[in-house]
Amino acid sequence: MPAAQKPPEKMMFQLNLRRRGISEQAVLRAMEEIPREMFVEPADRDSAYRDSALGIACGQTISQPFVVAYMTEQLQVQKGHNVLELGTGSGYQAAILSRLCRQVLTIERYRTLADRARRRLEKLGCDNVEVLLGDGLEISAIPGGQFDRIIVTAAIEQIPDALLERLQTGGILIAPVGPHRGTQTLIRTVRTEAGFERRNLVEVRFVPALPGIAREL
């Protein structure tokens, strides 16, 4: 598509992220490399780079670009890290993380979303992402031991102690915490030798994290 015909949202994509405070070059590069239009519904492709959440299958959403970039930057992911994501959705967040770390394990309760995300990620060559169909709230059933980083991409009313225990010492967990209906607070938790250090970041709105594997859609 000629540059003159590109949606203005795409042309302003990186500039908007920088203006809103995203400064980590590796994160900006990953956001530039991953084609967001692949992860939205066909009818929304012209709006893929707009800084807003968009609906996807199963009544779920793909988060706005700034929130994806902000959460990723706050994770401080490094190349050798193993990352756990709860809530695969479209697979966009996992794709961004795949450019920054060693391995991503992402868990999705909707088979439709898990299958679609897996195909998108394979097409992009994100070979270091494993998509599992499962209940991300059943912490004991999550394989893989401890993780360097954990990201939760659906609203939870509190962070389970069992999930915190899956963090390595020095690890970081990011999650939207608050009521399922309304506004949540994005909380960054760091595991130290002495315990867990929490910091409230920004207010956000996510779809709720629900237990169990969803029925076929």
Active site residue 63: yes
Catalytic residue from among 63, 90, 98, 140: 63
CB-CB neighbours of 180 under 10 Å: 14
> What does the H/E/C string look like for the chain?
CCHHHCCHHHHCHHHHHHHCCCCCHHHHHHHHHCCHHHHCCHHHHHHCCCCCCEECHHHCEECCHHHHHHHHHHHCCCCCCEEEEECCCCCHHHHHHHCCCCEEEEEECCHHHHHHHHHHHHHCCCCCEEEEECCCCCHHHCCCCCEEEEEECCEECCCCHHHHCCEEEEEEEEEEECCCCCCEEEEEEEEECCEEEEEEEEEECCCECCCCCCCCC
Q: Look-up: residue for tokens 């908007």?
A: 16
Any idea which residues carry the catalytic annotation? 63
